[in-house]
Each structure stands twice: as C-alpha cells, then as structure tokens.
Amino acid sequence: MLKVNDNYQKLPGSYLFSTIAKKVAAYSEANPEKRIIRLGIGDVTQPLAPAIIEALHRAVDEMGAAETFHGYAPDLGYEFLRNAIADNDYKARGCDISADEIFVSDGAKSDSGNIQELFSADARIAVCDPVYPVYVDSNVMAGRTGTYDEKTGMWSDVIYMPCTMENDFVPEFPRETPDVIYLCLPNNPTGTTITKTQLQEWVDYANKNGALIIYDGAYEAYISEEDVAHSIYECEGARTCAIEIKSFSKNAGFTGVRLGYTVVPRELSYGGVSLHGMWARRHGTKFNGAPYIIQRAGEAVYSKEGKAQLKQQVAYYMNNAKVILEGLKEAGYTVFGGVNAPYIWLKTPGNMGSWEFFD
C-alpha cells in the first residue's frame, strides 16, 4: 500500500489565510448587514494599469495568428522580459546581475516554496519570527523542521530570529549557525525593514559562515526610505551568498495574473556545486514557463507609461496603509510598519493573543 509523505501530517491547522477566509465567511453569513474591512491577506484591489492591459491585448492578438503565435516559452523566460528585469531592477541600481541569472516564474510563492528542493534534508533553516509562513511550511513538507510544539507554535529544528518591538524588528545573528537564512525585507507581516548597512552585515555573516540567504523582495516597490536596499545585490559580496526572489503581485497587481522571478548568480556554489545549474535543471524539468501573454504584460511594467501608472498605484496602497496606521494610532493602539511596506503590525492590548483579537 502507498505510504504518504508523513511530513504533511505534521503541518498544524490549515494555511493561515485559509483560516482567515473561513472565519470571515462564517461571520459575514451570520451578519449579512455588516460591512467588513478586510485587514487579513494582502491582496491587491486596483485593476491592472492601462499599459499592462494594452500589452495583454496585443499579446492575445499575437496568439491568434500563425506568424506570431507562441508555444512553450524558453526555460528561463523570454529574453525581452529578462533583459527588462536586468536593466531596470539591477543595472539601473548598480547591481551586477545579468539576464541569464534571472529565472522567470509564475510567482514568488512557488519559487519560495520550491527553492528548498536544492538543499539537503538536514540543512538547518533560519527564519525571522514572525514571517510569511511559506518558508517554514515548505520545509515542514520536506521533513526538515523536526517536531512541532503546539504551545509555542515553533518547530524543534528551525532557528527562529525574533523580530519584535524590543529589537526594532531587526533580526539578530542566531547563536547556532544556519545553512539557509530566509530574509523577507520589507517584511510580511510586520511591514518593517532594515537598513542597507544592516543588510550588508547579514551578507558578510552568510559569506563568513558558508550560509545561503534566500532574500524575498516582494515588497521592494514600497520602499520609501533612502537607506534601505532595493535588492540584496546592492550589498558587496551578495553574489556569493544570496538568491533573490521577486514578485509582480505587489508592485503591479499581478496576484491573479501570476508572474515572478528568481535570481541565482553564477558564482553561487556550495561544495563545488552550482546552485544556478541546479535551479536551471529543476526549472527545465518541473516548470514549463510563464505564459507568453503574461511575460509581455510583465515587460510593460518596465515601460515609461507602466512605471508612471504603477507609481500611482503603489502610492494609493501606501495611502491606505497610512489611513490604517493613523486610524489605529488615534484609537490608542501601538502600531508599526506602513513606511516601507503596505503592512501594519499592531500590538494587541493587554496580553491578548492574535487570534483572540481577530475573533
């Protein structure tokens, strides 16, 4: 008889956002007259920008003519998109990243979940606490996290780096050296981030200890402060210790369209094995590319019109964040974030737990 992957049985409850959706649905069914302000999952609400819609229409028409039809996309993504990413997200910021180090995908969630396949079963992972749940859960599925303690909500084999009000939400170097360090900056869910100088310290730490940083920059477009890096490759030495994962969901509203990319520099190797080669092999074997139409839409994100329209969209979300931040402050809450990310982190009153507060 088939034996299932037991690691799935270890996962506590359902995925965080499914629980939120279920609770909200039950509440609105019981209280149909109540208007609900949803402060749970960070989905976008604005329609796709006109420049993106135009690119989508053009690409759809191309797919309807034999001369311009596109089938399977190249493994790493179309060159027009990888060049636009390399020029705008990296070269324009002085980062030494070339198009052939960029792997286009269907989003940052898949990449951040899949990347752990490259590591050995006993690799020790470190995560900020709190953080986007996918990093830990995908490692639980792979059997890398040990046992779960229901009381603390922590795994025995995960190294947690607390990010709290007390340490200004800046993770400290762990006592035990990890093999893989997940950094999500600006952070989901706290909305806080660290300075470029502090990030440089993490890059130096990783290089010194032979650790790999998985840098999730999904909220990069929301950075407003000068001394915050837009890419980990702005730091010296990051090419030998960091993979960067990016999404088109938050800067361009692609949550329902699906597009992202991962940067794996060619220098990145452990025990003489190139992670670039491994990720290319995985991509070629398990992924058949993001759709041509969507990659054309992604290219439009970097057009002059696209950039101007998306700047306004990001400003709209940041204004929402400001309204929430100031409203909660006026209501007497202690709140963080909302400056370099659209998220607000709230200190629950008294010793109330977060689910208790939610309910």
Which spans of this chain sit near ligand PLP (rule: CB under 6 A)? 42, 107-109, 112, 132, 184, 188, 216, 218, 247, 249, 255, 260
Runs of H (alpha helix) within the chain: 7-10, 16-30, 50-63, 79-85, 108-114, 134-141, 196-209, 249-252, 275-286, 292-301, 304-330, 354-358
Min dist CB 245 to ligand PLP, Å, is 7
| 143 close to 7: Cβ distance less than 8 angstroms | yes
Min dist CB 111 to ligand PLP, Å, is 8
Min dist CB 137 to ligand PLP, Å, is 13
For residues 295 and 257, give the distance between their C-alpha atoms in angstroms, rounded to a whole number.
Answer: 10
Kindly tell me which of 108 and 123 has the beta carbon lying closer to ligand PLP.
Answer: 108
Kindly tell me which of 112 and 193 has the beta carbon lying closer to ligand PLP.
Answer: 112
Kindly tell me which of 61 and 338 has the beta carbon lying closer to ligand PLP.
Answer: 338
| Dihedral, CA of residue 120, residue 232, residue 217 and residue 229, to nearest 10 | 160
| Bridge partners of residue 215, in order along the sequence | 183, 244
Min dist CB 81 to ligand PLP, Å, is 15
Min dist CB 66 to ligand PLP, Å, is 33
Min dist CB 230 to ligand PLP, Å, is 15
For residues 146 and 123, give the distance between their C-alpha atoms in angstroms, rounded to a whole number.
Answer: 12
| Half-sphere exposure of residue 274: CA atoms within 13 angstroms, side-chain side | 9
Q: Cα 349 from chain centroid? A: 29
Kindly tell me which of 43 and 96 has the beta carbon lying closer to ligand PLP.
Answer: 43
Q: Cα 354 from chain centroid? A: 22
Long-range CB pairs of 353-358 (<8 Å, 24+ gap) are 358/20, 358/23
Provide the 8-state DSSP code for 176.
Answer: S
Kindly tell me which of 68 and 82 has the beta carbon lying closer to ligand PLP.
Answer: 82
Kindly tell me which of 105 and 303 has the beta carbon lying closer to ligand PLP.
Answer: 105
Kindly tell me which of 255 and 320 has the beta carbon lying closer to ligand PLP.
Answer: 255
Min dist CB 331 to ligand PLP, Å, is 26
Min dist CB 260 to ligand PLP, Å, is 4
Q: Which CA distances in Å does 151 have to 18, 104, 172? A: 21, 40, 24
For residues 228 and 205, give the distance between their C-alpha atoms in angstroms, rounded to a whole number.
Answer: 18
Min dist CB 180 to ligand PLP, Å, is 16
Kindly tell me which of 183 and 325 has the beta carbon lying closer to ligand PLP.
Answer: 183
Given CA atoms 20, 317, 338, 332 in this order, what sign does their dihedral have? Answer: negative
For residues 297 and 142, give the distance between their C-alpha atoms in angstroms, rounded to a whole number.
Answer: 34
Kindly tell me which of 55 and 218 has the beta carbon lying closer to ligand PLP.
Answer: 218
